[in-house]
Amino acid sequence: MILDAFLQFTGGSPNSGTVAVSNGGDSPTGGATLTGSNIIDLAGPGLPASATSPLVQPFRDIGIGDNPAMKILIQVTTAFSAGTSLQVQLTGAPDNGSGAPGSFVVWWSTPVYTQAQLSTVGVRLMDMDMPRPPAAVAEPRFLQLQYVSVGANNGTLKGWIVLDRHDQVYNVTSNNILGGYAPGVVIAN
């Protein structure tokens, strides 16, 4: 799996987010709708001027579905032991005309996860290909996560747009162990 700091939704170099940053990830707490700690700028540094044509703003369309496709990976890195539920939303915004984000619009939402579902380290909350913008939504230059938190949640999430994601068999009770098998298991022949 290839991780890139420029494609990290959580921690690292927080800018305009309103969620607490803990352990290098986001800790959505407090029963409210909160924005993530990082905004991904798809124009990025050094995008050539040819990328602006025919559009007015330069950006990268990373949701084109090639193989390998860019993936979204949001994982629990510190287990939630309090709170009621949490939903993660992917949001996008166009340039406001001066190089800053305009209004963010929700593109994709996860199911609403209960505290019990969030209590295992390694649980993947948004594990999907990068989507194209929904119908009637402006092409984004900026991407950000938003959290709909109910109750006093206390865990930590990390999120990226990744290439060539490392997948494993999902095991709800021990997803933090590759394939669900603890190391050092001896099987008699």
CB within 8 A of 45, min separation 6: which ones? none
Between 159 and 133, name the one with better pLDDT. 159
Tokens representing 115 are: 């505290």
**Closest of 8, 6, 138 to residue 74, by C-alpha:** 8
Q: Place 104 in a pLDDT band, splitting at 50, 70 and 90.
A: very high
Tokens representing 117 are: 């579902």
CA–CA separation, 65 and 132 (whole Å) = 9
Position 185 scores a pLDDT of 65
Helix/strand/coil for 179: helix
Q: From the centroid of its chain, how far is CA 121?
A: 16
Highest mean pLDDT among 2-6, 17-21, 58-62, 170-174: 2-6
Residue 73 near residue 124, CB atoms below 8 Å: yes
Position 127 scores a pLDDT of 80
The CATH number of domain 5-165 is 2.40.30.10: no
Position 88 scores a pLDDT of 92
Between 6 and 64, name the one with better pLDDT. 6
CA–CA separation, 119 and 155 (whole Å) = 8
Q: Place 111 in a pLDDT band, splitting at 50, 70 and 90.
A: very high
Highest mean pLDDT among 30-34, 95-99, 129-133, 148-152: 148-152
Burial of 157 (0-12, 13-18, 19+ CB in 10 A): buried
First to last CA, the chain: 34
Tokens 């209004």 correspond to what residue? Answer: 103
Q: From the centroid of its chain, how far is CA 1?
A: 15
Helix (H) or strand (E) holding 34: strand 33-41
Question: 71-90, pLDDT tens digit by residue?
Answer: 888 888 888 888 888 999 99
CA–CA separation, 41 and 183 (whole Å) = 40
Tokens representing 10 are: 């959580």
CA–CA separation, 82 and 29 (whole Å) = 10
**Closest of 61, 161, 44, 19 to residue 99, by C-alpha:** 44
Position 57 scores a pLDDT of 54
Tokens representing 157 are: 């999430």
